[in-house]
Amino acid sequence: MTDAIRLKAKDYKSEVKPIWCPGCGHFSVHNAITKAMAALGIDKDRTVLVSGIGCSSRLPAYVDSYGFHGVHGRGLAIAQGLKVARPDLTVLALGGDGDGFSIGGNHFIHACRRNVDITYIAMDNEVYGMTKGQASPTTPMDWDHSKLTPHGPGVRPFKPAALALASGAPWIARGYSGNPNQIAKLIAEAVEFPGFSFLHVMSQCITFCPEQTDWKAIVTESEAPPLADADEAAKQFLHEDGFQTGLLYREQRATWPPPGATAAEEGAPGKLAAAFRV
């Protein structure tokens, strides 16, 4: 960033007032993003936040950068297209557990596999907040607060970190909305990591899952260095209770597209046309 004055976190907030319920975990993520931006001294004009639809996906408008509030479940696809076309930009994709793991599940696993250099923050409250509290793919089997699944979804929840690992994600971390400073630190690392970085944030929905205030008591913060071994990571991710936070896994591998893929050939369009002449 060329700007001489160092910006503070609050300088990265836009003037739009969030629509979230008081006490919503997404406020923490919003704070953490702006903190990370400040810590990185990131250029607002060269940063884009992309999202789908959901309470969480409303976030881009609250940050003073470029943003794209897309359609439900497709934020990751927009973000990848943007980054491939404009490798000079810093691109973050954001969304909820419904947006990312339910309707957007295919883009999630393919983004992990494709390894385009973007950061993806999934704000997981184990519920569809925006549509007033239905079960998501991470909702506990027996959560019976939704009339749509009155006896609970009855289906084992996804373990997003395990899914990301199996799909090929090279950088996996977890945060908790009760600890925005840690989220900020992880976001900064994710942005700097060259490749697809997946940050899973447990972000409580105070309105539809007030019981999530109990998360506070069971969250653990990992001090251990991130695992670089996929076996170990898989073992951990399949078994964990889902509340260990910190950088969990990191591996270096080639990003896509390969660097320098877009060098133009001298006079190319003309030559292409010429090839059709008899």
Partner 1 sequence: MSTRYLSIAITGAGGAGVISCGELLLRAWAREGGRGLLRKAYGPQIRGGESAALLKLTADERYTAASRYDAVVALDWDNFTRFEDEIVLDADSWVLCDEAQALPPAVVAAGARVVDVPFDELAAACHPEGRVNMLALGVLGRLLGLPATTLAELAGQKLAGKPRDYRDAATACIELGAARDIACQLPVPPMGNKGAWYLSGNQAAGLGALEAGIRFVAAYPITPASDVLEWMAGGLERVGGQLVQAEDELAAINMTIGAAFGGVPAFTATSGPGLALMTESIGLAVASETPVTILNVMRGGPSTGIPTKSEQSDLNIALHGLHGDAPHLVLAPLDIADCVFTTGWAVQLAQRLQTAAIVLSDQFIGQSTAIVSEPRRCAPFAATPAQDPGEEGAYLRYRLTGSGVSALVTPGDAGHRFTADGLEHNEKGTPSSRQSDHQRQLAKRQDKLTAFDFGGDWAQIDGDGPVALVSFGSSAAAVTEAANQLAESGVATRVISLRLLAPLQTAALAAALEGCSRVFVVEQNHGGQLFHYLRGQLDFGQPVHSYALAGPVPLSPENIAQAVATVIAEATRS
Partner touching 45 among Mg ion, its own copies, partner 1, none, CB below 5 to 8 Å by kind: partner 1
- Contacts with ligand SF4 in 186-215 (CB under 6 A)? 205-208
Cα distance between residue 4 and residue 188, in whole Å:
20
30 contact, one of its own copies, partner 1, Mg ion, none, CB 5-8 Å limit per kind: none
Q: Give min distance, CB of 112 to partner 1, in A.
A: 11
Q: How far is the CB of 179 from ligand SF4 (least distance, A)?
A: 17
Dihedral angle sign, alpha carbons of residues 140, 144, 146, 147:
positive
Of 103, 28, 105, which is closest to residue 59 (Cα–Cα)?
Answer: 28
Site for ligand TPP in 169-228 (CB under 6 A): 205
Q: Taking CB within 5 to 8 Å according to partner kind, which of partner 1, ligand TPP, ligand SF4, none is near residue 97? A: ligand TPP
160 touching ligand TPP, by CB under 6 A: no
Tokens in use for 263?
A: 């060098």
Partner that binds at residue 241, options its own copies, Mg ion, partner 1, none, CB closer than 5 to 8 Å by kind: none
The number of beta carbons lying within 10 Å of the beta carbon of residue 235 is 13
Q: Is 59 in the site for ligand SF4 (CB under 6 A)?
A: no
Instruction: Name the residue nearer to its own copies (CB basis): 59 or 165.
Output: 165
Q: What is the DSSP string of 32-67?
A: HHHHHHHHHT--GGGEEEEE-SSTGGGGGGGBSSEE
Residue 191 is a binding residue for partner 1 (CB under 8 A): no
- Specify the residue, 38 or 94, whose C-beta has the smaller distance to Mg ion: 94
AA letter at 140: P
Number of neighbouring beta carbons within 10 Å of residue 169? 24
Residue type at position 142: D
- Out of 22, 156, 225, 231, the only residue in the binding site for partner 1 (CB under 8 A) is 22
Question: Of the candidates 29, 37, 55, 165, which one interacts with ligand TPP according to CB under 6 A?
Answer: 55
**Rule CB under 8 A: is residue 271 a binding residue for partner 1?**
yes
Contact 230, 248 (CB under 8 A): no
User: Is the CA virtual torsion 237, 243, 247, 253 positive or negative?
Assistant: positive
Instruction: Give the number of residues in contact with Mg ion, rule: CB under 5 A.
Output: 3
Instruction: Give Cα 16 distance to the centre of its chain.
Output: 21
Q: Among 27, 120, 128, 215, which residue sits at the site for partner 1 (rule: CB under 8 A)? A: 128
- CA-CA-CA-CA torsion sign (247, 110, 94, 153): negative
Does 53 engage in binding with partner 1 (CB under 8 A)?
A: yes
Cβ proximity to Mg ion: between 134 and 179 the closer is 134
State the CB neighbour count (10 A cutoff) for residue 219.
19
Q: How many Cβ atoms sit within 10 Å of the Cβ of residue 5? A: 7
- Shortest separation between residue 136's beta carbon and Mg ion, angstroms: 5
Check binding of 97 to Mg ion (CB under 5 A).
yes
Site residues (vs ligand TPP, CB under 6 A): 53-56, 72, 95-99, 123, 125, 127-131, 136, 205
